[in-house]
C-alpha cells in the first residue's frame, strides 16, 4: 500500500501564523497592562481593582476564542469520524501531512473530541474566578462593616 500525503497550503500556513500572532499580541497586551509594583505598594486595593478589571477583559476575550476553537475541533472530529481518514477529504493543511486511515484516524477523532471538551473548561473557570475575586474585593472595600447579630427565633423568647 502506497503512503499518501496532503500537500501544505501556503494560505493555511499564513492563517496559522496570523492566529499565533494574535494570541501572542493578546498575551503581550495582558502583560503590559498588569499593575506594576509601585502601584501595588502605594494603594493595594486600587491595584486589586485594576487587576479585577483586567481579569474580566481577559475572560471576555478568551471565552469566545476558546469556544470557537472548541467548536472547530468538534466539527473536525465529526468530519474525521465520518470520512474515516485524517485529514478529512478536501481539508487544506499548513504543512505536508500523511493521511491516516482506520484505527489511527479513529484515535485522532477521539483526541479531537477530548481536546474540544478541554477547551470548553477555561471559559467558565475565568468567569468563576472573576466572580469570586469581585466578591472578595467588595468585602475588602468595606473593612468597618460589622456582622449583624443573628435574629432570635420564637423559642428563645419563650425560655426567658
Predicted confidence band at 116 (pLDDT cuts at 50, 70, 90)? very high
- On average, the pLDDT of the chain sits at 85
Task: Indicate yes or no: pTM above 0.95.
Answer: no
Handedness of CA 131, 136, 137, 141 (dihedral sign): positive
Closest among 127, 134, 123, 126 to 52, alpha carbons compared: 134
What is the per-residue pLDDT for 158?
Answer: 56
Q: What is the pLDDT of residues 24-53, one digit of tens each?
A: 998 888 788 777 777 777 877 787 888 888
Whether 150 has a pLDDT exceeding 70, the answer reads no
106 in Cβ contact with 81 (< 8 Å): yes
Amino acid at each position: 500500500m502506497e503512503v499518501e500525503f496532503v500537500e501544505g497550503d501556503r494560505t493555511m500556513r499564513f492563517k496559522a501564523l496570523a492566529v499565533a500572532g494574535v494570541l501572542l499580541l493578546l498575551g503581550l497586551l495582558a502583560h503590559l497592562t498588569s499593575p506594576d509594583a509601585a502601584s501595588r505598594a502605594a494603594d493595594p486595593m486600587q491595584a486589586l481593582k485594576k487587576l479585577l478589571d483586567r481579569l474580566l477583559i481577559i475572560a471576555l476575550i478568551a471565552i469566545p476564542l476558546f469556544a470557537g476553537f472548541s467548536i472547530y475541533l468538534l466539527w473536525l472530529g465529526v468530519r474525521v469520524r465520518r470520512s474515516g481518514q485524517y485529514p478529512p477529504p478536501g481539508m487544506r493543511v499548513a504543512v505536508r501531512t500523511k493521511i491516516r486511515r482506520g484505527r489511527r484516524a479513529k484515535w485522532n477523532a477521539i483526541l479531537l473530541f477530548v481536546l474540544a471538551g478541554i477547551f470548553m473548561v477555561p471559559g467558565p473557570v475565568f468567569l468563576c474566578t472573576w466572580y469570586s475575586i469581585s466578591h472578595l474585593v467588595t468585602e475588602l472595600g468595606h473593612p468597618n462593616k460589622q456582622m449583624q447579630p443573628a435574629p432570635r427565633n420564637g423559642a428563645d423568647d419563650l425560655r426567658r
